[in-house]
């Protein structure tokens, strides 16, 4: 699995509800403790079932744990294989068309970051004749998010006769221009929406999301 390199122009101040990044080593999230309720989302993660407002769980859009084949729309903890959980959704006409999953991280290294490496495992269950997309984008602070095709997913339009959970791994190195400054927030967002076909929608999710930061050439980080 090779790395895709992307250069982005980013700008903006600090946001809210983030996870702090103190070191250059990889930071990973496997959603082990996520049970499909908003209170168990990992640090820095938010979900929007309407693509605009951050969900707080009061609208009934968090549906708990499921192994796949759900017919009620909402955010789920997909137990897509024994021992592995993904944060994801069953889209409907009213939920996650569009909607998003977002990881927000604050640069606490004390130094600017010129590049980040992001990888993830994307899972989907192609049990319907409607194609769904999870389109990735990255932004800093209140700046505009820039699309990152190397972290995106498109499910097939024709339904599989015997649908099972499918896996696609993604990895990309993103050059940040200007650099991600100390105290600023980096947002990685996956937006879910319809693409093609009619009828019900495929189930999609994210697992094993990892980020690693890199300073400009010649910069030395203190060992944490």
Gap between the Cα atoms of 135 and 155, Å rounded: 11
Task: State the residue range of the domain holding 177.
Answer: 4-214
Q: Are 139 and 47 in contact (CB under 8 A)?
A: no
Q: Is residue 28 part of a domain?
A: yes
Q: What would the pLDDT profile of 30-59 be if each residue is shown by its tens digit?
A: 999 999 999 999 999 999 999 999 999 888
- The verdict on residue 219 lying in a domain is no
223 domain residue, yes or no? no
End-to-end CA distance of the chain: 29
Q: What per-residue confidence (pLDDT) applies to 80?
A: 97
The string of pLDDT tens digits covering residues 150-207 is 999 999 998 998 889 999 999 999 999 889 999 999 999 999 998 988 888 899 999 9
Residue 224 belongs to some domain of the structure = no
Greatest C-alpha distance within the chain = 54
Per DSSP, what are the bridge partners of residue 82?
Answer: none
Q: Can you give the pTM of this predicted structure? A: 0.88
- Indicate the number of domains in the chain: 1
Inform me whether the pLDDT recorded for 210 exceeds 70.
yes
Kindly list the distances between the CA atom of residue 110 and the CA atoms of 113, 125, 138, 210, 219, in Å, as whole numbers in the listed order: 9, 42, 21, 21, 11
Alpha-carbon span 40 to 48, nearest angstrom: 15
In a domain, 87, yes or no: yes
Q: Is residue 55 part of a domain?
A: yes
Q: Cα 175 to the chain's mean position, in Å?
A: 18
The enclosing domain of 121 has a CATH number of: 2.60.120.200
More confident residue, 8 or 155: 155
Burial bucket for residue 210 (CB in 10 Å: 0-12, 13-18, 19+) = middle
Q: Is residue 136 part of a domain?
A: yes
Beta carbons of 128 and 195 less than 8 angstroms apart? no
What pLDDT is attached to residue 111? 93
Q: Is residue 97 part of a domain?
A: yes
- The CA distance from 101 to 171, in Å, is 17
């Amino acid at each position: 699995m090779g790395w895709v390199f992307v250069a982005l122009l980013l700008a903006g101040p600090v946001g809210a509800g983030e996870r702090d990044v103190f070191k250059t080593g990889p930071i990973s999230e496997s959603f082990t403790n996520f049970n499909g309720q908003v209170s168990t989302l990992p640090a820095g993660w938010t979900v929007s079932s309407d693509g605009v407002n951050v969900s707080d769980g009061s609208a009934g859009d968090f549906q708990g744990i499921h192994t796949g084949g759900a017919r009620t729309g909402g955010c789920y903890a997909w137990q897509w294989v024994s021992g592995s959980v993904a944060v994801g959704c069953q889209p409907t006409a009213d939920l996650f068309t569009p909607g998003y999953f977002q990881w927000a991280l604050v640069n606490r290294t004390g130094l600017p970051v010129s590049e980040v490496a992001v990888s993830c495992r994307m899972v989907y269950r192609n049990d319907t004749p409607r194609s769904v997309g999870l389109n990735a984008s990255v932004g800093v602070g209140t700046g505009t998010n820039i699309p990152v095709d190397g972290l995106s997913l498109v499910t097939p339009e024709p339904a599989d006769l015997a649908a099972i959970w499918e896996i696609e791994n993604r990895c990309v190195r993103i050059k940040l221009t200007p650099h991600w400054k100390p105290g600023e927030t980096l947002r990685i967002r996956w937006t879910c929406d319809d693409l093609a076909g009619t009828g019900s929608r495929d189930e999609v999710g994210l697992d094993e999301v990892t980020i690693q930061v890199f300073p400009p050439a010649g910069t030395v980080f203190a060992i944490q």
